[in-house]
């Protein structure tokens, strides 16, 4: 069981890394993969339930071992070279089909291992056979270790080709061990039980499980809901903490590891964290979390907030999973029990991945699940609810919501009378937060009242969040949440992807053609275009990453400009003159090619572009496949003799300079870098942003004018980084481990 779970959670990040280059590294790739894994896990549990109920043990082993060994026909795992996602369309269906074809069968077979082996274990004469649920902890321990070992050991030391071969060898070992388990059961002295559907639990077991021969519908529904909430929270928290950090298995794994740890702890024979302790701790975490949502502080994505969200997720998952473990049935319902848990997990994943993006234009599914988690708490109030108290369950949260709204609106308008928002605002904020917290904490022993109270806080916070009137447009799709915001103080329109600024335009008629933020004329990109020929005959320029399209301000008549953009929403926003007019006002014809830039660039003629600018590394999703040796070789084949490659690598969490430095040394190119971090007050007021840029060329002579500028430094590599290729990259070594400053 340990090995099967280890393989299951090794293949998850490994295959996700294989498909990331096709879809631009968006977090929805991982979320979609998680939903597929949950759905396949459910299919495996259904299969295990059906064969253990409808087949004799001997036929079970023949069928399952046949499926197990049939997987050898498709090993090692990989992605077909001919697979290409649909450009400009939602790729979820395509990704599901790719996952089904590539890893569907092995993942399905492995998914059935845990319930099958636990059921088989009940047929033995082992003293623990009457209560095999502790084995579920062993399974989840294997899952967690598989996840954690991937970024630390497997990804760091093995290329993808080596990972798939090692996985195939480990799967061969699993097949042999499963065969041995089947033989052990067949040779067990307890052979008479092999054809029985259930084994009567002992008196000790009966005290901790429901030994009833029939399961109630309400019990099944509660199992589904208790599994649904942590599954949805898992993806909600993952979306939150990866908003401004590279979308790589390293960070996706943290919430999933916590999710698995809770299963390990609640199903352990001797729980480290007693269930009553988790129940009492939950309000102390969820109430502050609700207040953070209420005041809009969750928009500040910074390291100090991330551990708090993870801790709240851990305790909430412990409460939900603890309720599941505490209500486990007798072994006669073992496979059905796991089946309902799996259904809840799948529904949670489907809600976040398929439903929420269509229904909501922001990540409200996260706070919604917090409210449902409060409603699912068991009642700690021993007094039966009277009609009077049930009315209070509804009335008190509504009154609280009204008071919170009045306080917040009053604070907002009162502060508009003051010149600055200082100590007084902080004091009033703390007082209101204390009132909110104390009142909601008093509801903690009554789930309905507590859940509705939390819902009231979040609802008021959503309706009366300060600054919402500044949002001109918001849209959510597979690639994330996009917002166009009006900045009244400076008279700008700003484009955000998550919380990362992707461009700005001044509303001043005299500055509408001025590139701002990272593309400011006094910055590194402005310096590159200052030495780039103004009017070469038919000069061709490629920009990877559209944003607002502000780079086109450097275009001159006679040039041909092509933007490569993976997200169709970005193009729609950039072409909408209500928000941005860079493309509309351009002196040249601008073409936008939708789809993954690297795949699209293959279709461009060789030696076609005089300048290629890659502006795809400052966002919330780092497309690693655009920073490999193979990618750089592709750029060079499309770059004209004497042409220049420009990389925008500003990033709060990743230091990509040594990655590019190693590639420059490996391919014997010329490279320069500039950290444009020290800005004057005038530049800041003019909406210039700090940035880091790298330029490359085939020969040093192609960069002569930039080399003479002392602001440009030689690009250096780092020996311990290695050379990033399509087969190998190590994101851990490029992390900036110092805490970044909070960005509002």
Query: Over the stretch 113-132, which tens digit does the pLDDT of each residue have?
Result: 888 888 888 888 888 888 78
Q: What is the mean pLDDT of residues 725-733?
A: 79
Q: What is the mean pLDDT of residues 242-246?
A: 52
Residue 655 falls inside a structural domain? yes
Q: What is the mean pLDDT of residues 78-101?
A: 75
Q: What is the mean pLDDT of residues 556-569?
A: 88
Residue 291 falls inside a structural domain? no
Residue 350 falls inside a structural domain? no
Greater model confidence, 149 or 533: 149
Q: Using CA atoms, how far apart are residues 151 and 13, in angstroms rounded to an integer?
A: 9
Least confident of 225-239, 332-346, 373-387, 475-489: 373-387
Last residue of a domain, one of 161, 196, 231: 196
DSSP state of 735: B
Give residue 424's pLDDT.
63
Q: What is the mean pLDDT of residues 310-338?
A: 87
Q: What is the mean pLDDT of the chain?
A: 80
422 confidence band (pLDDT: 50, 70, 90): low
Query: Over the stretch 159-216, which tens digit does the pLDDT of each residue have?
Result: 888 999 999 999 999 999 999 998 888 887 665 555 544 434 444 444 444 444 577 8
Residue 550 falls inside a structural domain? yes
Q: What is the mean pLDDT of residues 677-684?
A: 86
Q: Is 70 exceeded by the pLDDT of residue 420?
A: no
Classify strands 590-594 and 560-565 as parallel, antiparallel or unpaired: parallel
**Domains contained in the chain, number:** 2
Q: Using CA atoms, how far apart are residues 290 and 171, in angstroms rounded to an integer?
A: 44
Least confident of 206-220, 566-580, 605-619, 659-673: 206-220
Which of 338, 324, 328, 329 lies closest to 50 in space, CA to CA? Answer: 338
Give residue 401's pLDDT.
53
Residue 451 falls inside a structural domain? no
Q: What is the mean pLDDT of residues 270-275?
A: 82
Q: Is 60 exceeded by the pLDDT of residue 683?
A: yes
Query: Which CATH number do you get for residue 692?
Result: 3.40.50.150
Give residue 516's pLDDT.
92
pLDDT cut 90: percent of the chain above it: 25
674 confidence band (pLDDT: 50, 70, 90): very high
Q: Is 90 exceeded by the pLDDT of residue 225?
A: yes
pTM of the model: 0.72
Residue 405 falls inside a structural domain? no
Q: Is 70 exceeded by the pLDDT of residue 733?
A: yes
SS3 of 518, please?
Answer: coil
Q: What is the mean pLDDT of residues 380-406?
A: 50
Q: Which residues, 6 or more positions from 26, have their beta carbon under 8 angstroms from its beta carbon?
A: 247, 478, 479, 480, 621
| DSSP string across 256-294 | HHHHHHHHHHHTSSS-SS-HHHHHHHHHHHHHHHHHHHH
Report yes or no: 588 and 560 within 8 Å, Cβ to Cβ: yes
Residue 185 falls inside a structural domain? yes
Give residue 425's pLDDT.
60
Q: Is 50 exceeded by the pLDDT of residue 739?
A: no
| DSSP string across 154-201 | IHHH--HHHHHHHHHHHHHHHHHHHHHHHHHHHT-TTGGGTT-S--PP
Query: Over the stretch 359-383, which tens digit does the pLDDT of each residue have?
Result: 887 778 888 898 899 888 887 553 3
Least confident of 287-301, 578-592, 670-684: 287-301
Last residue of a domain, one of 196, 220, 255: 196
Owning domain of residue 611 = 511-734
Q: Which residues, 6 or more positions from 448, have their beta carbon under 8 angstroms from its beta carbon?
A: 375, 390, 393
Q: Is 80 exceeded by the pLDDT of residue 742?
A: no
Give residue 251's pLDDT.
64
Give residue 294's pLDDT.
64
Last residue of a domain, one of 144, 177, 196: 196
Which range is most confident: 404-418, 451-465, 625-639?
A: 625-639
Q: In this structure, how many other beta carbons lie within 10 angstroms of the beta carbon of residue 669?
A: 20
Q: Is the dihedral of CA 542, 546, 547, 548 positive or negative?
A: positive
Greater model confidence, 610 or 56: 610
Q: Which residues, 6 or more positions from 222, have their beta carbon under 8 angstroms from its beta carbon?
A: 323, 327, 376
Report yes or no: 313 and 320 within 8 Å, Cβ to Cβ: no
Residue 583 falls inside a structural domain? yes
């Amino acid at each position: 069981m340990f090995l099967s779970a280890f393989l299951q959670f090794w293949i998850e990040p490994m295959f996700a890394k294989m498909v990331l280059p096709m879809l631009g590294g968006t977090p929805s790739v991982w979320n979609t993969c998680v939903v597929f894994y949950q759905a396949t896990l459910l299919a495996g549990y259904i299969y295990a339930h059906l064969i253990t109920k409808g087949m004799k043990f001997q036929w079970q082993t023949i069928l399952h071992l046949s499926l197990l060994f049939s997987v050898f026909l498709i090993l090692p795992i990989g992605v077909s070279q001919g697979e290409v996602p649909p450009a400009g369309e939602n790729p979820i269906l395509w990704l599901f089909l790719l996952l089904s074809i590539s890893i569907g069968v092995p993942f399905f077979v492995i998914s059935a291992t845990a319930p099958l082996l636990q059921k088989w274990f009940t047929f033995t004469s082992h003293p623990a056979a009457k209560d095999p649920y502790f084995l579920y902890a062993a399974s989840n321990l294997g899952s967690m270790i598989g996840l954690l070992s991937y970024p630390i050991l497997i990804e760091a030391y093995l290329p993808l080709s080596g990972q798939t071969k090692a996985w195939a060898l480990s799967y061969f070992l699993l097949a042999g061990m499963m065969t041995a388990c089947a033989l052990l059961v067949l040779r067990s002295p307890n052979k008479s039980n092999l054809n029985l559907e259930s084994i009567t639990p002992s008196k000790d077991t009966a005290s901790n499980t429901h030994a009833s021969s029939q399961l109630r519908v309400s019990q099944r529904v509660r199992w589904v809901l208790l599994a649904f909430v942590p599954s949805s929270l898992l993806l909600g928290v993952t979306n939150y903490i990866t908003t401004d950090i590279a979308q790589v298995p390293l960070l996706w794994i943290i919430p999933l590891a916590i999710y698995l740890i809770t299963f390990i702890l609640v199903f352990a024979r001797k729980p480290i964290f007693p269930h009553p302790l988790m129940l009492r701790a939950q309000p102390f975490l969820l109430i502050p979390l609700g207040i953070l949502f209420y005041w809009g502080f969750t928009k500040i994505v910074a390291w100090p907030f991330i551990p708090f969200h993870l801790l709240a997720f851990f305790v909430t998952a412990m409460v939900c999973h603890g309720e599941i473990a505490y209500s486990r049935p007798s072994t006669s319902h073992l496979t059905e029990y796991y089946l309902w848990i799996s259904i809840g997990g799948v529904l949670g994943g489907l809600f976040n991945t398929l439903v929420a993006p269509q229904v909501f234009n922001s990540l409200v599914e996260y706070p919604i699940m917090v409210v449902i988690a409060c409603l699912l708490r068991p009642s700690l109030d021993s007094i039966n609810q009277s009609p009077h108290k049930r009315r209070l369950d509804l009335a008190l949260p509504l009154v609280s919501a009204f008071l919170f709204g009045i306080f917040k609106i009053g604070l907002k308008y009162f502060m508009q009378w003051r010149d600055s928002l200082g100590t007084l605002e902080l004091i009033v904020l703390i007082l209101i937060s204390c009132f909110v917290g104390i009142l909601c904490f008093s509801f903690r022993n009554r789930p309905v009242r507590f859940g509705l109270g939390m819902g009231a806080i979040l609802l008021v916070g959503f309706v009366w969040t300060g600054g919402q009137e500044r949002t001109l447009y918001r849209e959510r799709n597979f690639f994330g949440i996009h917002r166009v915001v009006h900045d009244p103080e400076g008279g700008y329109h700003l484009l955000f992807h998550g919380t990362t600024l992707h461009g700005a335009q001044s509303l001043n008629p005299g500055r509408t053609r001025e590139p701002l933020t990272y593309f400011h004329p006094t910055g590194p990109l402005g310096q590159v275009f200052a030495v780039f020929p103004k009017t070469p005959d038919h000069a061709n320029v490629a920009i990877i990453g559209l944003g607002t399209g502000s780079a086109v301000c450097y275009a001159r008549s006679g040039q041909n400009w092509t933007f490569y953009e993976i997200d169709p929403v970005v193009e729609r926003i950039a072409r909408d003159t209500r928000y941005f007019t860079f493309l509309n006002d351009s002196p040249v014809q601008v073409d936008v090619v939708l789809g993954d830039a690297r795949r699209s660039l293959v279709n461009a003629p060789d030696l076609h572009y005089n300048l290629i600018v890659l502006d795809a590394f400052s966002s919330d999703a780092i497309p690693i496949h655009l920073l490999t040796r193979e990618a750089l070789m592709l750029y060079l084949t499309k770059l004209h003799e004497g042409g220049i490659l420009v990389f925008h690598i500003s990033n709060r969490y990743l230091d990509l300079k040594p990655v590019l430095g190693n590639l420059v040394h490996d391919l014997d190119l010329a490279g320069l870098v500039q950290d444009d971090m020290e800005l004057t007050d005038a530049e800041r007021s003019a909406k210039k942003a700090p940035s880091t840029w790298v330029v490359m060329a085939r020969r040093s002579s192609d960069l002569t004018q930039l080399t003479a500028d002392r602001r440009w430094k030689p690009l250096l590599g780092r020996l311990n980084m290695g050379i990033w290729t399509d087969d190998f990259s190590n994101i851990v070594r490029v992390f900036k481990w110092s805490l970044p400053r909070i960005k509002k």
